[in-house]
Amino acid sequence: MKLDKHEEHCQIETLISAISGRWKLLIIYWLVQGNCRFNQLQRNLGAITHRTLARQLSELQETGLVSRKDFQTIPPHVEYSLTPLGQSLIPLLHEMHEWAVQNADKLPSPKTPPS
């Protein structure tokens, strides 16, 4: 299917907007592994702050890629998971992973944030 340049650009721009940022794809990566609680995601991601993780999860929920389930228990129990829309990104993420493996030697090393 061939789209005109403007329409194609807009569709890609929408996708990039939904998954852009340093943490969103990494959050999605961990949710591909299975449902996660907030603190588990924070441990998995390492250098992310509580505030940033909360904001990124909220944005992913707004785009419909991630869902939040509150079990209404004491102590609080909340889990995050991929929605069917979020799960539809899995083949794309696998392709991105394969590309990164094949081209890792051509890419600059990621910069580590200051501790």
pLDDT in tens, 54-69: 999 999 999 999 999 9
Residue 102, domain member (yes or no)? no
**Containing domain of residue 83, as a range?**
14-96
Reported as a pLDDT band with limits 50, 70 and 90, residue 108 is confident
Q: What is the CATH number of the domain that holds 44?
A: 1.10.10.10
How far is 52 from 24, CA to CA, in rounded Å? Answer: 10
Residue 57, domain member (yes or no)? yes
Residue 101, domain member (yes or no)? no
What angle do helix axes 50-62 and 38-45 make, rounded to 10 degrees? 110
Output b/e per residue, 102-115; b: 16+ Cβ within 10 A: eeeeeeeeeeeeee
Q: What is the pTM of this model?
A: 0.79
The per-residue pLDDT for range 21-44, each reduced to its tens digit, is 889 999 999 999 999 999 999 999
Residue with tokens 């990566």: 29
Mean pLDDT of 97-111: 85
Percent of the chain with pLDDT over 70: 87
CB 83 within 8 A of CB 64: yes
Residue 112, domain member (yes or no)? no
How far is 29 from 45, CA to CA, in rounded Å? Answer: 10
- Considering its fold, how many domains does the chain have in total? 1
